[in-house]
Amino acid sequence: MFYSTRSKLIASFLGVSFLVGAVSLLIGGQLLYKAVLSEATKRVRLDLNAAREIYLARINSVKVSLNITTLGFGFRSALRKYDDLELVTRLRRMAQHAELDFAGIVTGEDETLCRIGPNPVPNERHQTANPIANLAFEQGIPISGTVVLSNEFLSAESPELANQAKIQLLPSPKAAPRAEKEEPSGMALAAAIPVFEGDDLLGILYGGILLNRSQKIVDKVRDAVFQQEVYKGRSIGTATIFFNDLRISTNVSTLDGKRAIGTRVSKEVKDHVLEKGVTWTERAFVVNDWYITAYEPIEDIFGKRVGMLYVGILEAQYIDIVKKVLTVFVLITVAGMALAIGLGYILADKIMSPVHRLIKASQQVSEGNLSPEVGPLSKDEIGVLQNTFKDMIVSLQERDRRSRAESEDRLLQSEKQASIGRLAAGVAHEINNPLTGVLTFTHMLLRRKDIGDDIRSDLQTIAKATERVRRIVKGLLDFSRQTKLDREPTEINRLVRSTISLMENQALLKGVGIEFNPGKNLPMLTLDRSQFQSALLNLIINALDATETGGNVIVSTGITLSASDAGQKVVEIAIADTGCGIPPEDLDKLFDPFFSTKGIGQGTGLGLAVSFGIVQRHGGTIWVQSEVGSGSTFTIRLPLEGQRE
Amino acid sequence: MKIMVVDDEGIVLDSCRRVLEADGFQVLLVTSADKALAAIQDQEPALLLVDIKMPERDGMYLMREVKEKWPDIPIIVMSGYHTAETVKEAVKMGATTFIAKPFTPDELLETLRQVIQKKESPGN
Ligand SMILES: Nc1ncnc2c1ncn2[C@@H]1O[C@H](COP(=O)(O)OP(=O)(O)OP(=O)(O)O)[C@@H](O)[C@H]1O
Ligand SMILES: [Mg+2]
């Protein structure tokens, strides 16, 4: 019982903490994931902006370096003179400084004067179309930006460049299908500056960087934006430049660790970014991992969407954060549950220990120890229980004390009676023989006719006194006889009624009313009828003796609860009179043999002693309540079950 | 009529003799059970008056012997200290009746008379 209370308490604590934990885990996990995702998305957008800035800055740097070159006096005079050797030297120096992949001067549409590269001064002026220089030529203003360059153009500039530009298309299952196996064109950052002398156009200086297979921009983005943050050996941030849907410059790796150049973006992204021209921010599977990604279109100098700029953050690190937090949640929940168990254990202990002590105490009580240790009083309901228990103990102790005192009294009384009985038996036996002689010879003398009246009177006195001795001895014998009970089932009301009828005449003579109130539904008792009747008779005679003419003696029977044995029922016989009553100082001696207040020769004082013995041998009790002047009540109680000998 | 009184107390024997002889009975006094048995053989009393409590062999023993050998002799049992049980047992042993000590001459004679009457009209 004790353990089940504890386990119930623990179970409910566990239930609550588990519920709270599970709910917070679910909802919190969800919220957290969303928050982390949106945070990551926000960041990737910012990163995309940063990447764009880097991209544009690179364009600008190309433009600036070209511009500075055109402003140089030597350059201008060389250009004026078409001193191609001088120009090529200057161009090479510029290209080296500005890290340009190609540079050159055109003098008209598709007319190349000179360029860096293996074939600096073409024999044939007319060359492959140079889209940016042409645009600058057309518009007469500096042009800079992204430009798509044909393989022929690149070959002309430098076969090496043309080679660098060529990219094999790798299989990309999600990408939009493309027929060709190779992308021959290149995408470049370039600028073209027209050089004027007054209103005359001297020529156009152009230059740029081929993006295909170039790593500088994307790695700069990665290093600048993500500051070389590494997650599990991998850079968390990646950047890519797409030519159309093709990765031409990237630091996204393929599974074998190479740069994923030649792979293509999914059709979905292409549709959004290249076709519709919107910025795309989404969780996406890039090459081999999930990324939070951002794509934006790259427009070339003609305002056509030719490629895309991409940055992505490895999702794993964010998922990891979520996982970590969730793990902490789980740990907290588990800790909460452990705490619940501990708390439940301690609380149950705290609540149950006084109860436990009470249980122990009541066990002790049931084993007969009436002063068990209840322990310190609790201030709660259990304290009330403890107090009630203590009260109960006190009343038990009180009852125990009373019944012990009662049985001690009874023991004392019966011991007294037993010893008096033994004495009486011995005395009686010794006295009766000589008494026979006294009686015999006195009566024989009285029979004689030849004696004087005075002698006769003396003899009569002797006879009377002897008679009295005889009566006393007889009483003593009656009292001392511990006769075995000869029990038989008896209807108690009938026995009482017949006893009363024996005394009715005497009561009538004395003018005392005698009444009987029989109780109903009394069970049969097994009694020694003649002994019990003599006890009743003694009590009724005493009552009549004590009551003056006009008084009443009322005998009643009934069934009631025992005073000493809880739950035991007893039959009660009460003999009440309206007589003189008994002074309190006599109450103690009442049942002693030879205690009598009746005149000499009237009472032997054995009636109550004998009655007491009889009732006692029936397992019953007898006691008296009395008030001087208003009467006395003698009450006999007989047990119903297990009547003792 | 010859009556045998058996008692270890002289005063009882004396009392009985005094009362019975005055009433015309022939009285035999014996102080023990063994002596009584021997005397019955010779004297053939018509009635026995026996005390229960005697030293050595008691009245119960005597009664048993008498009832065995002379079942026709009525026995009156005397006792100065008796209970319902002793009376019952005595009657079972074959005592005709019982008289408690002390008794007056009249009480003794009355008891005697009843027993004699009973003996003379058996079956009643
Ligand atoms: N109903 C009573 N009212 C008043 N006093 C009583 C009553 N019953 C008994 N007593 C007192 O108790 C005493 C003892 O009673 P008990 O019956 O033992 O002896 P007794 O009546 O005096 O003599 P015995 O009963 O031997 O003839 C009586 O003398 C009387 O004083
Ligand atoms: Mg009395």
Least confident residue range of A309-323, A439-453, A527-541? A309-323
CB contact under 8 A, B85 and A434: no
The yes-or-no verdict on residue A305 having pLDDT over 90 is yes
Average pLDDT over residues A520-538: 92
Structure confidence at residue B89 (pLDDT): 85
- Candidate from A425, A436, A486 with C-beta closest to B101: A436
Best residue for ligand 1 mutational test, from A596, A600, A625 (most atoms within 8 Å of Cβ): A596
Average pLDDT over residues B116-124: 72
CB contact under 8 A, A440 and B105: yes
Q: CATH fold of B2-120, please?
A: Rossmann fold (3.40.50)
The verdict on the CB of residue A114 being under 6 Å from ligand 1 is: no
Ligand 2 centroid distance, CA of A541 (Å): 6
For chain B, positions 70-99, list CB contacts with chain A under 8 A: 80-81, 83-85
Structure confidence at residue A108 (pLDDT): 82
The yes-or-no verdict on residue A286 having pLDDT over 90 is no
Q: Does A439 touch chain B (CB under 8 A)?
A: yes
Ligand 1 centroid distance, CA of A473 (Å): 18
The verdict on the CB of residue A544 being under 6 Å from ligand 1 is: no
The verdict on the CB of residue A344 being under 6 Å from ligand 1 is: no
Per CB-CB distance under 8 Å, the chain B contacts of A441 are 15, 18
Residue A252 pLDDT grade (very low, low, confident, very high; cuts 50, 70, 90) = confident
Ligand 1 centroid distance, CA of A481 (Å): 20
β-strands B75-79, B47-51 pairing:
parallel
What SS3 class is residue A109?
coil
Residue of A nearest to B100 (CA): A432
User: What does the pLDDT look like over A103-133, one tens digit per residue?
Assistant: 999 988 888 889 998 888 888 878 788 899 9
Tokens of A533: 């009747």
Average pLDDT over residues A435-464: 92
- For residue A308, count CB atoms less than 10 angstroms from its CB and return exposed for 0-12, middle for 13-18, buried for 19 or more: buried
**What is the complex's ipTM, to 2 decimals?**
0.92
* Exposure on the CB side of residue A32, measured as CA atoms within 13 A: 18
- Candidate from B22, B84, B103 with C-beta closest to A436: B103
Q: Does B10 touch chain A (CB under 8 A)?
A: no
Residue A221 pLDDT grade (very low, low, confident, very high; cuts 50, 70, 90) = confident
Average pLDDT over residues A352-371: 83
Structure confidence at residue A2 (pLDDT): 52
Per-residue DSSP letter, A639 = E
For residue A590, the ligand closest to its alpha carbon is 1
Residue A356 pLDDT grade (very low, low, confident, very high; cuts 50, 70, 90) = confident
**Contact between B98 and B90 (Cβ < 8 Å):** yes
Least confident residue range of A137-141, A179-183, B117-121? B117-121
Per CB-CB distance under 8 Å, the chain A contacts of B9 are 433
Best residue for ligand 1 mutational test, from A420, A472, A542, A591 (most atoms within 8 Å of Cβ): A542
Per CB-CB distance under 8 Å, the chain A contacts of B81 are 425, 428-429, 432, 477
Q: For chain A, list the domains and their CATH numbers.
A: 1-334 (3.30.450.220), 398-482 (1.10.287), 484-645 (3.30.565.10)
Closest CA to A55 of A300, A290, A314: A300
Task: Respond yes or no on whether the N-terminal peptide bond of residue B122 is cis (omega within 30° of 0).
Answer: no
Closest CA to B19 of A445, A168, A166: A445
Residue A472 pLDDT grade (very low, low, confident, very high; cuts 50, 70, 90) = confident
Average pLDDT over residues A401-428: 78
Structure confidence at residue A165 (pLDDT): 92
- Candidate from A437, A470, A483 with C-beta closest to B15: A437
The verdict on the CB of residue A478 being under 6 Å from ligand 1 is: no
Strands (E), chain B: 2-6, 26-30, 47-51, 75-79, 97-100
**Percent of chain A with pLDDT strictly greater than 70:** 97
Which is more confidently placed, A429 or A571?
Answer: A571
CB contact under 8 A, B18 and A440: yes
Domain spans in chain B, listed from the N-terminal domain onward: 2-120
Size of interface A-B (CB pairs under 8 A): 64
- Furthest C-alpha separation in chain B: 36
Task: Name residues whose C-beta falls within 8 Å of residue A641's C-beta, 6 or more positions apart in sequence.
Answer: A568
DSSP states along A16-44: HHHHHHHHIIIIIHHHHHHHHHHHHHHHH
- Candidate from A429, A434, A436 with C-beta closest to B81: A429
Best residue for ligand 1 mutational test, from A474, A506, A541, A598 (most atoms within 8 Å of Cβ): A598
Per CB-CB distance under 8 Å, the chain A contacts of B18 are 440-441, 444
The verdict on the CB of residue A471 being under 6 Å from ligand 1 is: no
**Contact between A152 and A128 (Cβ < 8 Å):** yes
Distance separating alpha carbons of residues A597 and A605, to the nearest angstrom: 8
Distance separating alpha carbons of residues A317 and A37, to the nearest angstrom: 11
User: What does the pLDDT look like over A12-40, one tens digit per residue?
Assistant: 888 888 888 888 888 888 888 888 888 88
Distance separating alpha carbons of residues A201 and A192, to the nearest angstrom: 13
- Global pTM exceeds 0.90: no
